[in-house]
Structure 1
Amino acid sequence: MAERSVPVPEGLRAFRVTGRGGTIVLLAATVAGLVWANLPFGDSYEAFWETDLAVRLGGRGFSLSLRNWVNDGLMTLFFFTVGLEISRQLRVGQLRDRRLVAVPVVAATGGVLVPALLYTAVNHGGPGAGGWGIPVASDTAFVLGLLAVIGTRCPDQLRLFLLTATVIDDILAILVIALFYTEDLSVAALLAAAVLVGLIVALRWLRVWRAPLYVLLGLGVWAATLESGVHPTAVGVLLGMLVAVYGPSEHKLLTASEIVHALSRAPSPELERLATQSVRRTVSINERLQLRLLPWTSYVIVPVFALANAGVVLDAESLGEAARSPVTIGVVLGLVLGKFAGIALGTWIPLRLGLGVLPGNLVWGQVLGGAAVSGIGFTVSLFITDLAFSGDPALGTQAKIGILAGSLLAAGTGWLIFRLAWDRGGVCAPPGDGAENGDGGAEPEPLPPVTVRDHVLGPDDAPVTLVEYGDFECPYCGRAVDVVRRLREEYGERLRFVFRHFPLREVHPHAVAAAIVSEAAADEGRFWDMHDILFANQLALTDADLTAYGERLGVNAWADPDRHRRRVNSDREEGERSGASGTPTFFVNGTLHDGAHDFAGLSAAIDRALEGDRGS
């Protein structure tokens, strides 16, 4: 199964920077907590984390244990970053597109409801019934960390799907915490928190951007929420969602470019200040905060949380009790079976009903592997355990053993599925979309013949024609450039290469504009020059960048955009009718190539075509 292109959202890009390292630190902290609690002096674990720490100003203040400072204080910052990502996804990310978000929304909902129902079925009427929220949440760090270890068997499209689903999962888990695990509500404190939130909203509306003021008000909201009885995680998410977020603005980018250019010609303190401000404004506060906070949450806050909460005594007595405990059994079933079944069914149902699509060309083996590893429930599961069983340490211990056992089983199950079935099961697609989904999709039409309007390299009488449907913003298409170059060197006059447009406008924001500019260059006989420039600069395809590339080639990049857009759309529509569904898609002598897109895979297909030509 060939990999398909997918845009890597900012949240996923940021995770890649800290993901593996953060997962390793989190795992190390978990093991450290377990070892500490099981050492001969293991009593010191609970004694340390139950130590009180008070904050007082005059005669007023409050006192919390060190564990509660972590759970109610530091973790609020973690949930603040969750709120930042939710806001970004809703306003400029994947959650704006109903077709792309419909499937992960239903999948995440299934991944919450089915585990909760399984747990409740096992614990109904028992002392552990209140722990139904424990298996509902996936641990994003561990899930994406494991997928990073799995590597190429887990394509970026699946990571995008699971990242979107975990954002929805986080929203649902936070609602569970706020609605079902809040006690002793103080109306006065809640009103005070609401007033402070109103002040934050007013400052945003008045466009007052003073970070210390927002920090002070945020601390006030946190303290008031803590006193109100509502868990502070809710306010962390709310404050994160209030932070301004916006997409790249051509006006801001051009303004920054002009000021930086002026600074390079005549440096001065005033221009330096203006350049700093203008460059900063090109990226939203939301994204800047995520960049700064993610290392802290990944390397410090979440590992400290794991250290403070994962310390469970694993002796023969506790393990024996856990093996018989409905709480442990319910958590394990919820994480391993409930998450798998809920996400799998939640993916299949909207696809079957045609309510949405998945990014790229995922197969069921990959989706089922992702559903299985989503049963790794750790951070939020431990968090809810502390809320559900704060008054019953024995049940809390049984739940934590269930979390550890269930997460390990889910990870092992997911790894096994990726190992054995990552390329099996047929393409996940709505019925009738023409994909290879096993449901009788529309029969592809023959590939349109090569005409004078095509972009061609190689002789017209070459025995093999290799047609690529590509996207200038697709990273896999970028890799294919070198592969095609090697193929042309290897086969010489025996190979004709044709490039046609297939911009994935749903997921690549600059792909259509780049294709339009390449057509403008084609009018001046410079298509292949522009082709090479665009693929060499895939991370710089804004309108300003494209204009600059046109100027470099002496081409008016926007000479006739409507005509060029029609040409680009025509290429894509013809490609879809012929069976192209992602990028890059290759056809060898009119036959869809379903093998690897590397040199070995494509050269094998070309060799078979050459042998067929000689045989005929």
Structure 2
Amino acid sequence: MSEVTIPQAASEPPPEETPPRRSFVDALRELGRNRTGAILLLVATVAAIVWANASAGGYEAFWETQLSIGVADLRLDFTLHSVVNDALMAMFFFTVGLEVRREFAIGELTSWSRALVPVAAALAGLAVPALLYVLVASGSGHEHAWGIVISTDTAFLVGALALVGPKVPGRLRVFLLALAVVDDIGALSIIALVYTQDFNPLPLAFAAVGLAGVYLTRYLRGGRGPVYATLAVFVWLCFLASGVHPTLAGVAIALLVPVYRPTRRDVEHALELARTFRQSPNSEYARQAANSLRESISINERLQSAWDPYIAYFVLPVFALANAGVHLSGEILQAAAVSSVTWGILAGLVVGKFVGVFGSTALLRALRVGEFGMGLTTARMAGGAALCGIGFTISLFIVDLAIDDPAAQNEARVGVLAASVVAFLLATVIFRISDAVAPQQRIGETLARPVDPARDHVFGPDDAEYTIVEYGDFQCPFCLKASGSIQEVHEVLGDRLRYAWRHAPLTQVHPNALAAAEASEAAALQGRFFEMERSLFADQDHLLPADISRRAVELGLDVDRFESDLTSAQVANRVRDDILDAEAMDITSTPTLFVNGRRHRGPFDARSLIRALQETAPAATDASDATAATAGSSSDPASRPVERRSEDVS
């Protein structure tokens, strides 16, 4: 091993900061909500089955209770069952539409290269199950009910992933949610095109006028909520009159609701009003500050956060209670056991979803097409593909649309319930086996993703003898100390060292860390990542939007472009990729350093880092080269090598 002059450390640096870090902003909160929602959905399903089998006709009689709404001759007649399936489920599909709109505007599906894998998996997961169902159910007279097997239940999917998935499912969860969005689009399109009866185009013309009003409502200065609500009811009634299933009105409305990331000006305005309220507390300033804070967040995201609990904790459980009441008498189970409809649904959901999703992703991986993030291993993709066979909500929904015969409906419901159970058990087995046969080594002890100069923020030559990768946080004082140590190491080693920075903001303890990370990425798009990095570290106490904008001016950036990039999906996804990589390696503190690909557990002063670099170097170099490098880097500042930087500007 080459010898290097090691500087004496003046003092040992403080220990690593070790507070727990959320996997990605609100991911754990969403995970907990989905787990609870999935449990409530399961409880409601069991309750429906018990109710349907415990009372002779009581279950059906209750949900067939007639309701009448209207004035004089203008009346609408419903059953309780249709209220649930036509009205409450419109709210569910509204939240689905909001998620679709968000993913394509600022989420995982903004870039074709990022979206290719989940989109391909979703399309194969729609086509293969439908084909299998038609093949198995051929001759039953219910081949047209293939729509039952096309959709995955997102609530159960995410809840099941939380219960039986791998320890760090972040990357798999992002992939499955993106897949579920495309899956939902396919299911909704099929409901509209295949399972619409008695179509009347005239009411849809009025619905189009209402939808135009929904779009224009964004330009109102205030009072948008009542306007949205009134137009939503009008559009829903028009869809109902047209013969198109009225739940699709929820999707159409949601796709017109604006979505955007908060801009610096909106955040600054909210902060100014909050300061004014603090200086002079009164109800008027409180109202203005609250309104400004609310308006800085897009209507789409406000509606999602407001509606999601009601959907998860009320709408979907009530839907399960109204639709999962399948009779399980010996005669019905015997009929289901020999029914091609039941077996077609089992084959479509369990086998078809697995083959479609896993087969398409395996093919893309083999062809090296599309982006597979770290953590999307073959075993995890297999487990996720198995979970996609849980087709509960929309599957039961389409049973009522596609099949009229009550006996066949019972057989179909048995198939949906059985397929969901089998898919869950299959996924559990796959995850448990993959965990058992995985290499028995601690997660995160080795760098999972090699340094890529085309993607990472790097200084130092590509063929450097030594490499340090830092997962850091711009608001963390220990990261600032580590950056000084790494600079000392660079002064000693010169071009023999390559350094790469990756993001791991501790959002629970550093509220401005995520914004600072995104600011550095926006600067990187103009080739100024390391300049912004030094600026952020130089004054960690001032990382508010105005401070970040001031730094952009000081660095000579194109400020308009910088502020536009700050709200772009490209910047947000770039930071999120690093965070998900950090989660996959169980990184919960900053700074976390990888020295020559191995996790550094000791102190991070220059002396310790150089010693670790020497001990873990992949190969020794000529001693004379080492002596020359040492002499040239540690004594004469003029002889130190010029820093070489590789920026991620794509």
TM-score bin (small chain): 0.7 to 0.9
Structure 2 matches for 1:266-305, cutoff 5 A?
266-305=280-319
Q: Does 1:264 align with 2:278?
A: yes
Q: State the partner residue of 1:111.
A: 125
Q: Does 1:148 align with 2:148?
A: no
1:468 CA displacement: 2.9
Q: Which amino acid aligns with 1:363?
A: T
Q: State the partner residue of 2:52.
A: 37
Q: Which amino acid aligns with 1:470?
A: Y
Structure 2 matches for 1:180-195, cutoff 5 A?
180-195=194-209
Q: Which amino acid aligns with 1:212?
A: P
Q: State the partner residue of 1:407.
A: 420
1:540-561 deviations in Å (ceiling 9; x for gaps): 976446579xxxxxxx686437
Partners of 2:214 and 2:257 within 8 A in 1: no
Partners of 1:377 and 1:403 within 8 A in 2: yes
Q: 1:58 aligns with which of 50, 54, 72?
A: 72
Task: State the TM-score, normalizing by the size of structure 2.
Answer: 0.71
Partners of 1:372 and 1:410 within 8 A in 2: yes
Partners of 2:460 and 2:499 within 8 A in 1: no
Task: State the TM-score, normalizing by the size of structure 1.
Answer: 0.75
1:61-111 deviations in Å (ceiling 9; x for gaps): 121111111000100001011111111111111111211111101100111
Partners of 2:469 and 2:594 within 8 A in 1: no
CA distance in 2, matches of 1:376, 1:597: 42
Q: State the partner residue of 1:537.
A: none
Q: Which amino acid aligns with 1:337?
A: V
CA distance in 2, matches of 1:264, 1:449: 45
Q: Which amino acid aligns with 2:80?
A: L
Structure 2 matches for 1:104-183, cutoff 5 A?
104-150=118-164, 152-183=166-197
Say if 1:125 and 1:546 are closer, same or farther in 2 by CA, change over 3 A.
same
CA distance in 2, matches of 1:521, 1:436: 24
Q: State the partner residue of 1:552.
A: none
Q: State the partner residue of 2:500.
A: 500
1:265 CA displacement: 1.2
Q: 2:389 aligns with which of 367, 375, 379?
A: 375
Q: State the partner residue of 1:470.
A: 471
CA distance in 1, matches of 2:313, 2:277: 37
1:267-289 deviations in Å (ceiling 9; x for gaps): 24432232122111111111111
Q: 1:230 aligns with which of 244, 247, 254?
A: 244
Q: State the partner residue of 2:265.
A: 251
CA distance in 2, matches of 1:385, 1:329: 15
**Quick one: percent identity of the two aligned structures?**
37
1:241 CA displacement: 1.2
Q: State the partner residue of 1:88.
A: 102
SS at structure 2 position matched to 1:77 = helix
Runs (5+) with no aligned partner, structure 2? 1-20, 440-446, 484-496, 506-513, 559-579, 586-591, 603-607, 619-650
Q: 2:555 aligns with which of 548, 554, 560?
A: 560
SS at structure 2 position matched to 1:356 = coil
CA distance in 2, matches of 1:231, 1:61: 19
Runs (5+) with no aligned partner, structure 1? 427-433, 455-463, 486-496, 535-539, 549-555, 564-580
Partners of 2:50 and 2:325 within 8 A in 1: yes
Q: Number of aligned residue pairs: give it.
A: 528
CA distance in 1, matches of 2:415, 2:192: 23
Q: Which amino acid aligns with 1:27?
A: L
Say if 1:612 and 1:260 are closer, same or farther in 2 by CA, change over 3 A.
closer
Partners of 2:200 and 2:243 within 8 A in 1: yes
Q: State the partner residue of 1:323.
A: 337
CA distance in 2, matches of 1:128, 1:154: 42
Partners of 1:116 and 1:133 within 8 A in 2: yes
Q: Does 1:70 align with 2:84?
A: yes
Say if 1:337 and 1:264 are closer, same or farther in 2 by CA, change over 3 A.
same
CA distance in 2, matches of 1:521, 1:137: 45
Partners of 1:472 and 1:514 within 8 A in 2: no
Partners of 1:84 and 1:286 within 8 A in 2: yes
Say if 1:88 and 1:379 are closer, same or farther in 2 by CA, change over 3 A.
same
Structure 2 matches for 1:390-469, cutoff 5 A?
391-422=404-435, 467-469=468-470
Say if 1:561 and 1:348 are closer, same or farther in 2 by CA, change over 3 A.
farther
CA distance in 2, matches of 1:258, 1:29: 47
CA distance in 2, matches of 1:371, 1:377: 12
Q: 1:24 aligns with which of 36, 39, 46?
A: 39
Q: Which amino acid aligns with 2:555?
A: D
1:375-421 deviations in Å (ceiling 9; x for gaps): 111000000111111x2111111111001111111001111111111
Partners of 1:161 and 1:359 within 8 A in 2: no
Q: Which amino acid aligns with 1:31?
A: V
Partners of 1:38 and 1:313 within 8 A in 2: yes
1:43-64 deviations in Å (ceiling 9; x for gaps): 2001111111111221111211
1:162-191 deviations in Å (ceiling 9; x for gaps): 001001111110001000000011223222
SS at structure 2 position matched to 1:272 = helix
CA distance in 2, matches of 1:318, 1:52: 28
1:331-366 deviations in Å (ceiling 9; x for gaps): 001111100010112223344444421333421111
Q: Which amino acid aligns with 1:404?
A: L
Say if 1:229 and 1:265 are closer, same or farther in 2 by CA, change over 3 A.
same
CA distance in 2, matches of 1:560, 1:188: 59
Q: Which moved more, 1:138-147 or 1:201-210?
A: 201-210
Say if 1:213 and 1:521 are closer, same or farther in 2 by CA, change over 3 A.
closer
CA distance in 2, matches of 1:143, 1:518: 38
